[in-house]
Amino acid sequence: MITYIIVKCENHDYAKNRRAMSNKNNKNKAVRLSDVAAEANVSVITASRAMRAPEMVTPETRARVAAAVSSLGYVPNPAAQALASARSRIIGVVIPSLTNQIFGDLLSGVMDALEGGPYTPQFVNTRYRLSREEDLLRIFATQRPAGMIVVGIDQTETARNLLRDMACPVVQVMETGSDPIDMIVGCDQRAAGREAVAHLLEQGYRNIGFLGARMDPRAQRRLAGYHDALADHGIRADANRVVTTPQPSSFTIGGQLLSDLLARAPDTDAVFCNNDDVALGALFECQRRGISVPHQMGIVGFNDLDVVSSSVPTITSVRTHRYDTGRQAVRMILAALAGEEISARHIDAGFDLMARQSTARRGPAPGATS
């Protein structure tokens, strides 16, 4: 299917270019702190202090250094800084996947909050494997990161120790929990699942199923919330109505899961889906089968991606604040690095049930707008 067409061939020698550049009148030689110091007529350490701790030098020297910095176009060498101080400016971010939109949202929040500051995020991908998470943390440890952000609370004991040994602020994100490594921001996945299913019960649905792909720890907690809600209403859970797969979630898999569910329990009248991908896939499957949503089948998704508020019908979902969680995690780390008193080490970012047409069995359907 993929075709590679060779259009042009010619080889470069990067090392040669580099050499050529260095020889050419030092033209491309990096400006060092000592150059700035010479220009400003101060010692190297004074120049350094003028930038890192302005209040420790006189305003006059500060200005001279600033002038030298901008006239020479000085930019510090991060490798030298890291080596000398045994601390890098890197904020490590450990996520389980990049192909899921929700992690993109989280990363956007992290990036935006870090923008303009001296710290740089570095993302790694565990692919949902705990052993890989440990390996990645060991690599991060050698970098002496300024801070760490990790998804979830299900790290192995080894991973927790690695994080603690980094002796830097650590924020766990996307969940809440009573025993965080250091700080935590996210939402209570189980409570959110419970509320989603409670909503279906309020709407009069009774034979409620659960569709789950991937079934990572957060999906497991949402499933626990599903059982909580049924128990709250004195409904006995039917194992046939819980259909899961270890495969990654996708729109396509949502349709398959619904088919499986209907084969096992044809009288199912509503489904709580692991996430919006699955929910939309389930909606499409209903359309294919001529099952009317919300009348014959109620559907609730999770995450409130943009797509569920524009589909026909719009899909009820639980909004989670992923972008904001990313920003908040960074703010917590920056505050800790600045030595500020951290008032909130454990933040519940909350969630919001967005009731829409896909569950509006009784009463007038909410409008198409979220």
Q: Which residues from 235-254 bind a copy of itself, rule CB under 8 A?
A: 250-252, 254
Of 37 and 148, which has the nearer Cβ to a copy of itself?
148
- The residues, ordered by sequence, that sit 6+ positions from 309 with a Cβ below 8 Å of its Cβ are 315, 354, 356, 368, 369, 370
User: Which of a copy of itself, DNA, none has residue 316 at its interface (CB below 5 to 8 Å by kind)?
Assistant: none
Q: Is residue 105 a contact residue for a copy of itself (CB under 8 A)?
A: yes
Rounded Cα distance, 170 and 163, in Å: 7
Which region, judged by CB under 8 A, interacts with a copy of itself, from 58-66, 96-104, 208-216, 293-301? 96-104
Q: Which helix (H) or strand (E) holds 271?
A: strand 270-273
Q: Is residue 364 a contact residue for a copy of itself (CB under 8 A)?
A: no
Q: How far is the CB of 167 from a copy of itself (least distance, A)?
A: 4
Of 28 and 240, which has the nearer Cβ to DNA?
28
- What are the tokens at 149? 């952000």
Q: Is residue 28 a contact residue for a copy of itself (CB under 8 A)?
A: yes
Q: Is residue 81 a contact residue for DNA (CB under 7 A)?
A: yes
- What are the tokens at 114? 């870090």
Which region, judged by CB under 8 A, interacts with a copy of itself, from 55-63, 106-114, 223-231, 267-275? 106-114
Of 7 and 84, which has the nearer Cβ to DNA?
84
Of 42 and 270, which has the nearer Cβ to DNA?
42
Q: Is residue 43 a contact residue for DNA (CB under 7 A)?
A: yes
**Cβ proximity of 42 and 61 under 8 Å:** yes
Q: Is residue 98 a contact residue for a copy of itself (CB under 8 A)?
A: yes
Q: Is residue 311 a contact residue for a copy of itself (CB under 8 A)?
A: yes
Which region, judged by CB under 7 A, interacts with DNA, from 57-65, 172-180, 228-236, 290-298? 57-65
Give me the count of residues in the chain.
370
User: Which of DNA, a copy of itself, none has residue 347 at its interface (CB below 5 to 8 Å by kind)?
Assistant: a copy of itself
Q: Report the relative pairing of strands 147-151 and 170-173 from DSSP bridges.
A: parallel
Q: Is residue 338 a contact residue for a copy of itself (CB under 8 A)?
A: no
Q: Can you give the three-state secondary structure of 64-112, one letter per residue? A: HHHHHHHHHCCCCCHHHHHHHHCCCCEEEEEECCCCCHHHHHHHHHHHH
Backbone angles phi, psi at 207, to 5 degrees: -100, 75
Q: Is residue 45 a contact residue for DNA (CB under 7 A)?
A: yes
Q: How far is the CB of 104 from DNA (least distance, A)?
A: 33
Of 58 and 99, which has the nearer Cβ to a copy of itself?
99
Distances from the Cα of 43 to the Cα of 54, 83, 98, 282, angstroms: 15, 20, 47, 68
Q: How far is the CB of 252 from a copy of itself (least distance, A)?
A: 5
Q: How far is the CB of 28 from DNA (least distance, A)?
A: 11
Q: What sign results for the dihedral spanned by CA atoms 94, 98, 102, 107? A: positive
DSSP track, 291-312:
--TTTT-EEE-SB--GGGGTSS
Exposed/middle/buried for residue 97 (C-beta within 10 Å: 0-12, 13-18, 19+): middle
Residues that bind DNA (CB under 7 A): 29-30, 32-34, 42-46, 48-49, 52, 55-58, 60-61, 74, 76-77, 80-81, 83-87
